[in-house]
Amino acid sequence: MIDHLVETCADDLGALKTRLDELAEQNADIITVLWQSNRVETDQSAAFDARGSFVIIARLDIESPLRAHESEAAAELAGQVRVL
């Protein structure tokens, strides 16, 4: 099963590097890393001084017991289907 991960990381390059290293250890495929500013509601001039966060989008290949059971059931069902 392939799951996609979307998570935010603090606006800190050290924290980002640590998290990307952790994902690499899990054999994740990093799709993209984006930086987004925090939303400023009151004074738009404050937006230039605002901190933001990184958004990490990655793909993980996770072995799920539920998915394994579904695959076994599908294979069993396929064995029962006859083509006429």
Domains of the chain: 2-80 (3.30.70)
The tens digit of pLDDT for each residue in 47-83 reads 555 678 999 999 987 665 555 566 676 667 666 655 5
Report how far residue 33's alpha carbon sits from residue 5's, in angstroms, rounded to the nearest whole number. 12
Provide the pLDDT for residue 79: 66
| 8 Å CB contact between 23 and 58 | yes
Provide the pLDDT for residue 58: 95
User: 3-state class of 78 per DSSP?
Assistant: helix
User: 3-state class of 22 per DSSP?
Assistant: helix
The tens digit of pLDDT for each residue in 19-43 reads 999 999 999 999 999 999 877 666 6
